[in-house]
Each structure stands twice: as structure tokens, then as C-alpha cells.
Structure 1
Amino acid sequence: MNIRPLEKRDLPHIYRQKNSRSVMALWFEEPYNSFDELTLLYDRHVLDQTERRFVIEKDGEFAGVVELMEINTIHRHAEIQIIIDSKFQGHGLAQAGMRAGIEYGFNVLNLHKIYLYVDVDNAAAVHIYKKIGFEEEGCLKHHFFAEGKYHDSYMMGLFADDFRQPTSTEPKVD
């Protein structure tokens, strides 16, 4: 597994993900963006210093995206998000991709805390996040609307001092 910065050539893959209702429901976002809209968003955000987007590759193939969002350099925290393409799910890429994104946030951006939101009913994701070291900090009731209903969401956080540094066999950020 490898991660690299998101580039314009990756937009067709992002377009496919952004137009999947089930995928966007996991991110509590509205699906169905036009390719033109996605291109405009990319152009507008490519230089935004409050975001870092990385492509997760497996054997040179697009496998997903890990993003650090809302990067706050004063308080030194950011939100992290991940999507693994369905073709690559169940191969450990979510955990490896999260670890690589977290390592970048703590070791390159000098963040103090990385947090995320996850649907309380997404047991697989909650399990992965806890395995990495995230802790539940609270439950937000009816906080996100997706798939026609409101969802409760855990807010989970991880501090730099608590992050278990990857071993030499785990992927590094290029």
C-alpha cells in the first residue's frame, strides 16, 4: 500500500465514489456531484492549507482516499476521513491508510489531535478506529442526515502522544 497526494487525474475515481449514495452516506454527505462541479471544487481547494487529500494505492491501482480536513494550525487539530473502494475492502487498507494519514498529521503537520465522526451503527469502522487508538469522546444525537434519516455519531479522538508509531513493516507516506 502507498499513499500519495490527490491529483486531477484521480477525479474520475472520486467522481465514482461521490456518486454512490451508500459511500456518501458513510461520510454523511450528499451524493451526486457533476464531474464539472467536482473539477471546480478540486481547482478551488488544491491550494487550501486547511486540507490534505491522499490517494491510497494498492499495486499502483486507485484503492481509496484518506483526507485530513479542517486543519487548524492554532489549536493543532484536524478531522480525518477515509473511503476504501469496495473492490479493496477487507484487505486491511482502511487501517493502513488511516495510519499513514495519521502519521502525516502528527509527524509532518505537527498536529496534537486528530478526530473523526463515525455512525454509531458502523461497527466495523468503530472497531478499526479503536484498534488504531481512537477513543470515543462523545455521542452526537441525530447529528447527521443521510439515506433519509438522522444518524447518531460518535466523535472519536486520538492524541499524538497516544498514537502507536508504525513498525518498519507498515507503509510510509511518500
Structure 2
Amino acid sequence: MIIRALEETDLDFVHHLNNEYSIMSYWFEEPYQSLSELQSLYKKHLHDESERRFIIETEQTRIGVVELVEINFIHSNCEIQIIIDSQFGGKGYAKSAFKMAIDYAFLVLNLNKIYLFVDVNNEKAVHIYKGQNFIIEGTLQEHFYARGEFNDCYVMGLLKKHWVNQHDNDLSQLEP
């Protein structure tokens, strides 16, 4: 499995993911986006230094997306987001891709902190994040609206000094 830079040819796949209600409700996003809107956003953000978007791929099959967004080089932090196509869930891809993106943020971008927002009821995701040494820094009450109700979410974070002590820092699976 690898992660590689998102290309314009991947937009049909991303469009598919972005229109899956079960996926987007965990991202606190409306599960609707036209392909033309996605293409426009891609072109608008092509040279945006505040984000890095990667396709997760195995044996030339796209299985998900992992993103570093809101990259702030002054404060040396970013938000991380991941989506795995439901047909590939439960096979360890999220954990591996998540680690690769974390390695990229700390080794390539030289960031100090990575954070994320996760629905308090998304136990599977919280488990994956804790497995990567993210800690719950707080709970935001009724912060996102999804599935017809307001939901609490955790803010979770990982500092580089905690990552360095726990990982072997192997970037061999990351393609340029």
C-alpha cells in the first residue's frame, strides 16, 4: 500500500467518496458535491501550500484519501483527515495510511503538531487515532450537525515529540 499525491484523474473516485452519506456524516460534511464543483476546487487549490491531499492505493486500486489541511507553517501544525472506501474497511488500510501521512507531516513538512476532529461515537476511528498516540485534548459540545442531530466531537492531537519516541520513521511506502 502507498499514498501518493492526488491527481486530477482521481477526482471521479473522490467524487464517489464525497457522495457517500455514511462516510461524509463522520466528516461532518453534507454528502453532496458535484463533479464540476470538485474539479473547480481542485484547480483552485492546486498550488495551495496549506494542504496536501493523498490517494491511498494498493495494487493500483484506489481505496481512500488522506489529507493534511489547514497547514500552518508559523504555528507548525495541521489537521489530518482520512476516508476509506467502505468496501475496503476493516483491512488495516486506514491505520497504515494514517501513519504514512503522519510521517510525511513530521519528516517532510517538519510540523510540530497534528490535530483532528472526530465524532465521540465513532469508536473505530478513535481507536485508530489512539493507536497512533493521539490524545483527546477536549470535547466540543454539539459542534457538528450530522444525521439529523447535533453531535459532540473530540479534538485529538499528536505532538512530534511523542511521535518520535514511538515510531521507526519509515517513509519507504510513500511515493513522490
TM-score, normalisation: structure 1: 0.96
Runs of 4+ in 1 over 4 A off after TM superposition: none
Alignment match, 1:75: 75
Please tell me whether the aligned partners of residues 112 and 159 of structure 2 are also in contact (alpha carbons under 8 angstroms): yes
Alignment match, 1:40: 40
* Deviation at residue 131 of structure 1 after TM alignment: 0.7
Alignment match, 2:141: 141
2:68 counterpart of 1:62: no
Alignment match, 2:86: 86
Please tell me whether the aligned partners of residues 84 and 94 of structure 2 are also in contact (alpha carbons under 8 angstroms): yes
Distance 1:145 1:25 in 2: 9
Alignment match, 2:151: 151
Q: Per-residue displacement from partner, 1:43-79 (whole Å, max 9, x unpaired)? A: 1011110000000001110010000000000000000
* Deviation at residue 20 of structure 1 after TM alignment: 1.1
* Deviation at residue 121 of structure 1 after TM alignment: 0.2
**Unaligned 5+ runs, structure 1:** none
TM-score, normalisation: structure 2: 0.95
Q: Per-residue displacement from partner, 1:122-149 (whole Å, max 9, x unpaired)? A: 0011011001100000000000111211
Q: What secondary structure does 1:117 align onto? A: strand
Distance 1:43 1:31 in 2: 21
Letter in 1 for 2:173: K
**Unaligned 5+ runs, structure 2:** none
* Deviation at residue 154 of structure 1 after TM alignment: 0.3
Q: What secondary structure does 1:98 align onto? A: helix
Point out the more displaced range, 50-59 or 157-166.
157-166
Letter in 2 for 1:20: E
* 1:86–1:166 distance in 2 versus 1, CA, 3 Å: farther
* 1:131–1:30 distance in 2 versus 1, CA, 3 Å: same
Alignment match, 1:12: 12
Alignment match, 1:21: 21
Letter in 2 for 1:51: E
Distance 2:128 2:162 in 1: 16
RMSD: 1.2
Letter in 2 for 1:61: T
Q: Per-residue displacement from partner, 1:88-127 (whole Å, max 9, x unpaired)? A: 1111011101000000000000000000000000001101
